[in-house]
Amino acid sequence: MEGSLPLTTFKVLTLNTHKGFTVFNRRFMLHDLREAVRGVGADVVFLQEVLGSHELHSSRQKDWPASPQYEFLADTIWGHYSYGRNAIYPDGHHGNAVLSKFPITSWQNRDVSIAGPERRGLLHCVLKVPQRDLDVHVICAHLGLMEDHRQQQLKLMCQMISQHVPADAPLIIAGDFNDWRVRANRVLDRCGVREAFVEHEGREAKTFPSRFPVLRLDRIYTRNVRTARPMVLSSKPWSHLSDHAALALEISV
């Protein structure tokens, strides 16, 4: 951070969208989800399990959007977005997305799938903060369900950071880490990143299941930024929009 310049503060939000459906796929909630995300006033949104397309759902749901889910959610609020396709199946595909009010100058989706049918990715975007003419690196992550896979994916994440993120650049990593055993911090400490809720509240946030959060699955990690006001969004309407609670955080660069 460049000492004499005033800080620029913005808000980030991360959410596993569960493909726009409630728990057990009982109701399609993407329209309500869009309104809730808008209400937070986030400048950068990290999304996991967002659908790029799904022919079966689109034929059955009368209010299914004509555009991909990430474009529908971005709408007129977030003028820049990027999508990293991870899982492909006969009816369509889903992955991670970043919605941003700041220009996205470059992006890369890295496949970190380890073995078997489970497909995972890391979507790395570079945002340009105009007020500061500053590059901010963001990584939207969705890690595997198996501990061994997650450990390998965390090491691949550290490699990505080492190779593609300058040591002095602002960095934000957010997403669904599926880290119910709370072991990710040991690996990511080596990359110099710190988990925001641990720094402010002493523990990772409980985010799953959204109606009665018990497991600490979703995270926001940062490096070379200031953080404030971490929030878990788990009360209504959020508890009825997805199986994960959302997390929000203020960032200053």
Average pLDDT, the chain: 91
CA 107 to chain centre: 14
pLDDT at 1 > cutoff 60: no
By CB neighbour count within 10 A (0-12 exposed, 13-18 middle, 19+ buried), where does 142 fall?
buried
Q: Which helix (H) or strand (E) holds 175?
A: strand 171-176
Q: Considering all CA atoms of the chain, what is the largest pairwise distance in Å, rounded to the nearest integer?
A: 56
Q: What is the mean pLDDT of residues 13-29?
A: 79
pLDDT of residue 5: 72
Predicted model pTM: 0.92
The DSSP letter of residue 28 is B
Of 22-31, 97-106, 197-206, the one with minimum mean pLDDT is 22-31
pLDDT at 72 > cutoff 50: yes
Q: What is the mean pLDDT of residues 192-198?
A: 98
Q: Report the share of the chain in percent with pLDDT over 70.
A: 91
Can you give 81-94 as a three-state secondary structure string? EEEEEEEEECCEEE
Mind listing the pLDDT tens digit for each residue in 26-68? 678 889 999 999 999 999 999 999 987 666 566 577 777 888 9
Long-range contacts of 198-202 (CB under 8 A, 24+ apart): 199/227, 200/227, 200/228, 200/230, 201/230
pLDDT at 86 > cutoff 90: no
